[in-house]
Structure 1
Amino acid sequence: MSKDKFVFIEQTGEENEAIRPSLTYWQDAWRRLKKNKLSMMGIVVVILIVLFGTIGPNFTDFSYSDQINAYKNLPPTLKLYELDGRYFHVSNDYNVFLVAEDGTLIERLVLDPMKRDMINKVYTYQLGEEDVILDFSYNLLPNKMGYDYNFTLELDGEVAQYPAMTKLNKLFPFGTDSLGRDLLTRVMYGARISLLVAFVATIVNLFIGVVYGSISGYEGGRVDNIMMRIVDIINSIPLVLYVILLMVWFRGGGLTNIIIALSSVYWVSMARLVRGQMLSLKEQEFVLAARVMGVSKGKIIFRHLIPNAMGPIIVSIAMMIPSAVFTESFLSFIGLGVSAPMASWGTLANNALSGLTTYPYQLFFPALAIAFTMLAFNFIGDGLRDALDPRLRKG
Structure 2
Amino acid sequence: MNLNTFRQELATPRTSIQLCIIGIVGGICAASLIIIFRLSVEWLQKLFLPEVNDFGALDPLMRFFLPCIGAIAIVLIAYLTGFKHYRMGIPFVIHRIKHYYGHIPFRTAINQFFGGTLALVSGFSVGREGPSVHLGAFGSSFFGQWLKFPHNSIRILSGCGIAAGISASFNTPFAAVIFVMEVVLREYKIHIFIPVMLAAACGTVLTRIFFGEAQELSFIQFNEFSRWIYIYLIIFGILLGCLASLFNKTLMLVISGFSRINMVRRLLIAGLITGAVGYILPDALGAHFHSAHVLIAQNENIQLLIGVVAAKFLLTIFAIGLGIPGGIIGPVFVIGMLSGVILAFPLGFLLDDVSNLNGSFSLLGMAGLMTAVIHAPLAALSAVMELSYSPEMILPTILVIVPAYVTSTQFFR
TM-score where L is the length of structure 1 = 0.30
State the structure with more CA Rg. 1
More strand by share: 1
